[in-house]
Amino acid sequence: MHDGSRDLASRTTLRLGGPAGRLVTATVTEEIPALVRGADSLLVLAGGSNVVVADAGFPGTVLLLRNRGIAVARDGDGVTLTVAAGEPWDDVVARTVEEGWSGIECLSGIPGSAGATPIQNVGAYGQEVAETITSVRVYDRERDRVEVYEPADCGFGYRTSVFKHSDRWIVVDLTLRLSVDRLSAPIRYPELARALGVAVGDRAPLDEVRAAVWKLRAGKGMVLDPEDPDTYSVGSFFTNPVLPVADFAALATAGAPAWPNPDGTVKTSAAWLIERAGFPKGYGRDGVAISAKHTLALTNRGTGSTAALLELAREIRAGVAARFGVTLVPEPVLVNCAL
């Protein structure tokens, strides 16, 4: 259906961005193809938590995904969930914890919709959604048909997939395979293990893991709060750099954190680089700033603009490159604008 207001700022967690050229809303999965068929350019919005929309807005069609539903199939010690793309993601996680289904508990408190999770390969506190996805159903605009993609077809990588930076596919639902177990998957993230009082590799009750993750995220301004401008963000604005070992050597000497990968590369901390390049928490101007709670979040203080936010991001990126020789990569999708 058509939506009367074309405003996009109120539909994103940054609360920034101009109007849509055309705005339509899908409440039923089956109506999605008809709503977008023939659109020259398309932006899909659900939770609006991982997009930066230009001040000029988006001149094409914006599809608001509001389809809902979770289908559950249990067998033995496993459970399969098919989740509509418009379902709020944290509601899905809350349901799994309540039911005693293990596998996505560390992804608690993440804003946005279920359909966005495979696009971004959402991850936090040692879990990635790709680990539990068994299929993603998409509407392929190029072929004008709904198709099922297996994980191998999705191109999952660190905070990315084949669906990111493309308007060819619209995720309509996804299927997750979880364990029927009141204990979490083994805890991989040291900060979370410390918060739970367990060792890395240990397991903990699902509700305790969810509560601990929620508390950690809230302390970093990563849980939406209408009263707190530190949460007017896209979460982490930059991804943590993944570098060849040789390129990381100088950073290792400087004391940069290191998370070795099986392929021989090393992931390091973007927040560490940003802070040591001279950009502390709270740094900013013109109505935008680094969050006072978390260095990776660039926030709209309520009076900002997308132009100001991108200028701050450029300054940070240039400063880190000059100081450490590392070029930071933005994590959100930039709509009708560029860094």
The sign of the torsion formed by the CA atoms of 18, 20, 25, 31 equals: negative
Which residues are identified as catalytic? 159, 236, 331
Residues of the chain with pLDDT under 50: none
The alpha carbon of residue 231 and the mean position of all alpha carbons in its chain are separated, in whole angstroms, by 14
Share of the chain above pLDDT 90, in %: 89
- Return the pLDDT at 223: 84
- Rounded distance between C-alpha atoms, residue 69 and residue 172, angstroms: 11
Task: Please identify which residue in the block is written with the tokens 């900013």.
Answer: 284
- Return the pLDDT at 319: 98
The alpha carbon of residue 153 and the mean position of all alpha carbons in its chain are separated, in whole angstroms, by 20
- Return the pLDDT at 270: 97
What's the one-letter identity of residue 142? E
Domain 70-219: assigned CATH number: 3.30.465.10
In the chain, residues under CATH classification 3.30.43.10 are 9-65
- Rounded distance between C-alpha atoms, residue 147 and residue 109, angstroms: 30
- Return the pLDDT at 1: 53
Fold of the domain spanning 229-335: 3.90.78
Mind listing the pLDDT tens digit for each residue in 292-322? 999 999 999 999 999 999 999 999 999 999 9
- Return the pLDDT at 4: 53
- Residues 6+ positions from 41 with CB-CB distance below 8 Å: 58, 59, 60, 61, 167
Straight-line distance from the first to the last Cα atom of the chain, in angstroms, rounded to the nearest whole number: 33
- In words, the CATH class of domain 9-65 is alpha beta
With CA atoms as reference, report the closest residue to 72 among 177, 192, 149. Answer: 177
DSSP state of 19: B
- Residues 6+ positions from 225 with CB-CB distance below 8 Å: 218, 231
In the chain, residues under CATH classification 3.30.465.10 are 70-219
In the chain, residues under CATH classification 3.90.78.10 are 229-335
- Return the pLDDT at 226: 86
Q: What tokens appear for 299 in the block?
A: 């926030």
> Angle CA(58)–CA(61)–CA(63) in degrees, nearest 5?
110
- Rounded distance between C-alpha atoms, residue 57 and residue 53, angstroms: 6
pTM of the predicted structure, to 2 decimals: 0.90
Task: Please identify which residue in the block is written with the tokens 């920034």.
Answer: 16
Burial category of 123 from C-beta neighbours within 10 Å (exposed 0-12, middle 13-18, buried 19 and up): middle
Assign 3-state DSSP to the chain and report helix, strand, coil percentages, each to 5.
30, 30, 45
